[in-house]
Structure 1
Amino acid sequence: MYTTMVDWADRQTGTVAYDKLFNDIRTAIDEAHRDDTLKSVIKADLPSFTHRKDPPARGSGAGSAAFQTA
């Protein structure tokens, strides 16, 4: 996230206070975790935030041998 914001800010202004940007992002993320803002939004609509892939077909050669069953 930080590098994305740095790239964006560099394109917008050409001058960036990198330490301030880092601290602002960290503060926002810490606050979202502390008050469960992010967690409550995700839990309210979990299917929108997950994608379940079908497991590989048995014997298809996909996947680790350690996880394949006989």
Structure 2
Amino acid sequence: MIRVLLVDDHAVMRAGFRMILEATGEIDVVGEAGTGAEAIAAASALQPDVICMDVQMPDMDGIDATRR
């Protein structure tokens, strides 16, 4: 299983991506985050294989969050 963390400030987008990814049967969405700061904490705690990161978020954009 590929472990994925979804990061987007819109819950509907995260839900849609989760539904699509988990339907493959080969991907496990291990967590979700709605802000860059939450993404950093979740990535550290969950150690996903892949992070699907939104680039434009209000508090910290995905590029800054990825750098950190």
More helix by share: 1
Q: Which has the higher contact order (CA 8 A, sep 6+)?
A: 2
More strand by share: 2
Q: Which has the larger radius of gyration?
A: 1
Q: TM-score if structure 1 supplies the norm length?
A: 0.27
Q: TM-score if structure 2 supplies the norm length?
A: 0.27
